[in-house]
Chain A
Amino acid sequence: MTVEVAVTVNGQLRSAGVDARRTLADFLRHDLGLTGTHLGCEHGVCGSCTVLVDGASARSCLMLAVQAAGTEITTIEGLAVDGELNHLQQAMGDGHGFQCGFCTPGFMMTATELLRENPRPSEAQVREAISGNVCRCTGYESIVDGILRAAELIDE
C-alpha cells in the first residue's frame, strides 16, 4: 500500500510516494537521495542511522517513513551552513574524529542534539550521550574529544 509522505528535510519540503512499510532510513536514502544517513544494523543498536526528527534524535531504521510525515528532519547533509562546516564538523576534522566514516552520521546527529541541550557537557556526559552509537574504528576518544572541542568552539 502506497502512501504519500511529505517531510521537511534540512529545511526543504520533500515528498515521495512510498510503501507504508518503507523505513524512514530507506526513504531518506533511496527516495530522497540523501545517502549520508547510513544503515549499520537495522535493529536499533548501532546508531549509524540517527537523524533528528523535530529536533530529537531518532533511529531512522526504527521509524517508518509514514510516521515522519509532517515533521522536520535534519540529516548530516544539513549540518554545514552555506557550504561552511559547522563547529562540530570543524572540530571533528581538526581532531581526526573518525576513520572509515560509516558511523559518522549517527555520531554527528547525536552530538548535535547533545550540544543543543547541554552546551558544555563534561566528558562523562559526552560518553553517556554517545553510548548508543557504535564505532569500530576509533576507540571513541577522538569522537569524545571532538564533541568537547566543538562545545568550546560554539562558546567562542
Chain B
Amino acid sequence: MSSVGAARFVGQSVARIEDARILTGRGRYMDDIVLPGMLEGAFVRSDLGHARIASIDATRARSMPGVLAVITATELEGAVSPLRVEAEIPNYLRPVFHALADGKVRYVGDPVAFVVAESRYLAEDARDAVEVDYEPLDAVITMDQAADPDLPALFDDVGSNVFYTEAMNFGEPDGAFAAADRVVSAMIDSARVTHVPMEGRGGVADYRPGTDELTYHAASQAPHSARQALAALLKHPADRLRVVIPDIGGAFGQKAGLSREDLVVCAAAKMLGRPVKWVEDRIENLAAAGHAREETIEISAAVNDDGTILALDVKMRLNQGAYPMLGTPTPLFGWIVRTMIGNAYRINHMRWSLDVYASNKASYSAYRGPWAAETLAREILIDRIAYELGLDPVDVRRRNLLTLEEQPCKMMSGPTIEAVAAIDTLERAVELVDYDGFREDQRRAREQGRLLGVGFSTYIEPAPGPPDFFAAIGFTIGGERAVARLEPDGHLTVITTQAPHGQSHETTLAQIAATEFGVPMAHVRVLYGDTNTAPYSSMGTGGSRAATMASGAALHATRAVKQKALAYAGDMLEISPEDLEIADARIRVKGDPASGLALGELAAAVYASPPEGEESDLRSVALFNQPSGGGYSGGTHVCFVEIDAETGIVRIPRYEVVEDCGSLINPAIVDGQVRGGVAQGIGIALYEHARYNEEGMFVSSTFLDYLVPTAMEIPNIGVTHFESPPTDEVNYRGVGEGGTIAAPAAVLNAVSDALGGTRVEQLPLTPDRVLALIDMADERT
C-alpha cells in the first residue's frame, strides 16, 4: 500500500487534469484535427429502408468543383475485405456484407457512397449530385415482421430474418412452477434508443504512400482492437498501422467497435494518397451510428403467497437491425441478460429463451449497460408480484435478495456472488427517503386528486465481474496492462490501455499512481490512446473495467517501478531498500525527512549510468487480472414521480441513489458517472425513441424529434455511497453503467405506483401514453 507519510490522493475529489484544456477551449476533438493536404468526405446514405440499388450515377458529382473521388462498393472491391461477424455460433446467421452498400440498402442511413472533396461544403454539394436509382422492397420493421417468412430476407445469403434462437433451462424450473402458489407475469417493450454522444463518430486517416504508413485518428473506445480489425480488413501490415485517439466527445458504447465508415475513410486515404477526414453530423449520428435497447421481455415468476420467488420464465426478443456490429455477435447481449437476470436475488430456476431478429433499421449496438433489460424486466416483475399479492414492493425485495451471510454462492447462471450488499443498499435507501412518511403523503395527495408515486430498483452489475462471469457469458477479455516509467526528471508516466472520453481516467489513474509512488499529482502524467505506445488491450474503455482493471494495472506497474527505484537508491545510499520510503517526490530514510535524494536525482543517475548487472531503466509493465472475489457494483435507486393527471406529464421531484462501487477513487467523478447514467435512464423511460414508421422511414432524425432530456427534465440526483466489504486491495469498481441500468425500472415502477399498480409495459412514457394509463387506472377503480 502507499508509503507512510505520502499524500493520499485516492479518495479525494481532486480537480480533474482534463479540465485544464476542456474549460479553456483547448481540447482537440476530431474535427479540430487539420493535416497538410487534408481532404474531407461525406457519405451518400440510403433514404429508403429496404431497396435494391439499380444503379449509381456519380458522373456529375465527380466533375464538380473540388471533388477528388466518389467511392462506391465497386471502387472498394479489393481495398476492403467483405465483412462478417467472426465468431461462429451455432444457430446464429452470419451474413456477408460490405463497407458500402453492395447491390442493396438495408436501412435509412445505409452508406452507399463516399464523396471526397477539398472541403466538407464541396463534398456535400457533390453528395447531393450522386444519383442512386432504387427499386424499393417491402421494409421489415417489427420483430413480428422479421419472423414472417413471406417478407423479403434482408440478406440473400442467409435467407431468413430470424438470426438466432435459443432456449434452455437453469435449475429445474418446471418443478418450481408446479410447486408455487401462483404465477405472476409482466411484460416490457423497451423502445429503440440511441447513445447520442455530443460529438458524433468520425475519423482522420493519414496515409503516407512512400512508407505505406497509415495513421488513423479514430473516435474509438478501443484503439488496439480497431487497429487489429483495420489491419485485417484493409489487408494492411499492422506494423505500419497506428491508431491514435483525440479527445472524444462521449461514446457510451457507440464507439466501441470499428464501423463500416471507418474502413471507407481509411480506404479513401490509401486510394488518394492524402489525408481524409470524416466527421459524422447529427443527422447521420441519429440515423446510422447505432441504436440500442429494442427488446421485449415477457417474464413470469413462480411465487409463493409470501412473495418468495421460486423460479422465472423469461422470453427475450431483440431487434438487431440490419447489420451486426463488427466484432460483436448480437446474441451476446442476450447472453449477458440471461446471465445477470437472477442478479442479487435468491432465484435458482429459470426457463429462458432468446430470439434475435434482423430488420431494416440501424445496427443494434452496445449502449451503457447493454444488458439493462434484465434489471428492467425483473424489477417491474417484482413490483407486479407485490401488487398482485398485496405486499409492499420493498418487502418483496427484502424477502428475495441475498444476504452477505449466504455468500459466497453462485447465481443460477454460474457466476460467483461474493461481497454483494444489494440488500443493504435497499435498507439504506428505505431509511433515506422516509418511505413510510411518503406513503402517508401519497395517500393524502391522492385525496386531493394528485398522483404521487415511488419506484425502487435494486441491482448489481458486473463491473468488471468475477472471472467466472465471463465464462458464463462465453466471452473473455482477460487481464489489463499498464506501463509505468520514471522519467529522467523524476516524474512518473503511466500508460493505460483505456481510451477515456469523459471518464476522467487521466485524473483517477494519476491519483492511484501518485498515492502509491509518493509524489504530487503534478508529477504523474497519464498517457493513452496511441497504439504506438499504449499496451495492448482488446477492450479499451468499456464494460466498466477501468475502475478495477486499469486502476489495478496502474497500481501494480507503479509499485514495480517504485521497488526498482528503492533498490537503486539503496545501492546508491548503501542502505537497505526496506529502510527507505518515498514521500514528496524524495527517497528518504524512514523517519528522517531531511535524508536521501530527490527522485529526479535518482532517475538522472540511473539513466546516465545504469548500475551494472541491473535492469537498465526504470520502467515496468504490469498485467492485472480480475480478482477472484467480488467484482460487482450495484445499489438501489428510488424514484419519486408526480403525474399531472390531466396532461400525463411526469415530473420527477426527487431521485435517490444508494450506490455501492467499493472504495471511491474520486467521489466527485463517481457522482458524475452515477448522475449522468441516471439521466440517460430517465431519458429511456420518459423521452427517447429512435422511431421508424411503417414504411421503414426513420422519423427521429433530428434533435427536434429525438428528445434528449435537458436541465429542465433531469432533477438533482442524491447519491449516497455504501461500501460493501472489500475482497481485494484493489477495491474500486466500475460505476459508469449502473445509473442507466437501474433508472428506467425505478421511473417505470414509480409511474405504475402513482397509478395504483397499473401495468406499464411500453417505453417511453410519453404524455400520451401516460394519459391512456391514467384512463385504464380510472376504469379499474
Contacts and interface: CB of A to CB of B under 8 A. Distances in A.
Contacts, number: 173
A89 to B, nearest CB: 5
Interface string B178-212: 00000000000000000111110000000000000
Given A36-B25, A92-B19, A103 B198 contact: yes
Interface in B666-682: 668-669, 671-672, 675-680
B24 A46 contact: no
Contacts of A76: 23-25
Interface in B551-601: none
Contacts of A144: 711, 716
Contacts of A42: 281-282
Interface in B1-32: 13, 15-16, 18-19, 21-29, 31-32
B249 A45 contact: no
Contacts of B708: 134, 136
Contacts of A139: 672, 675-679, 714, 717
A143 B16 CA distance: 15
B376 to A, nearest CB: 19
B23 A40 contact: no
Contact of B26 (A36, A40, A141): A36
B704 interface: yes
B24 A102 contact: no
Contacts of B24: 36, 76-77, 79-80, 85, 89
Contacts of A36: 24-27
A141 B716 contact: yes
Nearest to B28: A35
Given A138-B679, A141-B717, A100 B25 contact: no
Contacts of B18: 101
A137 B676 contact: yes
A102 B281 contact: no
Interface stretch (B54-62, B500-508, B520-528): B500-508
Contacts of A45: 702-704
The size class of the interface chain A forms with chain B is: 35 or more
B697 interface: no
B281 A96 contact: no
Interface string A93-110: 111111111111100100
B320 to A, nearest CB: 24
A89 B23 CA distance: 6
Nearest to B716: A141
Nearest to B13: A96
Contact of B22 (A39, A48, A104, A136): A104
A19 interface: yes
Contacts of B714: 139-141
Contacts of A66: none
A141 B673 CA distance: 12
Interface string B200-231: 00000000000000000000000000000000
Contact of A35 (B25, B121, B197, B702): B25
A120 interface: no
A134 B19 contact: no
B31 A138 contact: no
A46 B672 contact: no
Interface centre among A22, A41, A46, A75 (most CB of B within 10 A): A41
Contact of A43 (B501, B677, B678, B702): B702
B247 interface: yes
A101 B32 CA distance: 14
A46 B671 CA distance: 24
Given A39-B31, A100-B501, A101-B22, A140 B703 contact: no
Nearest to A91: B23
Given A38-B199, A96-B16, A136-B250, A101 B679 contact: no
Contact of B282 (A41, A102, A128, A143): A41
Interface centre among B22, B27, B196, B669 (most CB of A within 10 A): B22
B613 to A, nearest CB: 48
B13 A127 contact: no
Interface centre among A45, A108, A144 (most CB of B within 10 A): A45
A96 B199 contact: no
Nearest to B199: A102
A128 B252 CA distance: 26
A101 B668 contact: no
Interface string B731-763: 000000000000000000000000000000000
14 contacts: A35-B32, A40-B282, A45-B702, A89-B23, A95-B668, A98-B19, A98-B22, A101-B249, A102-B249, A104-B27, A134-B198, A136-B250, A138-B675, A140-B714
Given A40-B249, A41-B702, 17 more contacts: A34-B25, A36-B27, A39-B31, A40-B199, A48-B198, A77-B26, A80-B24, A93-B23, A94-B15, A96-B669, A98-B23, A99-B502, A100-B198, A101-B22, A130-B710, A134-B198, A140-B679
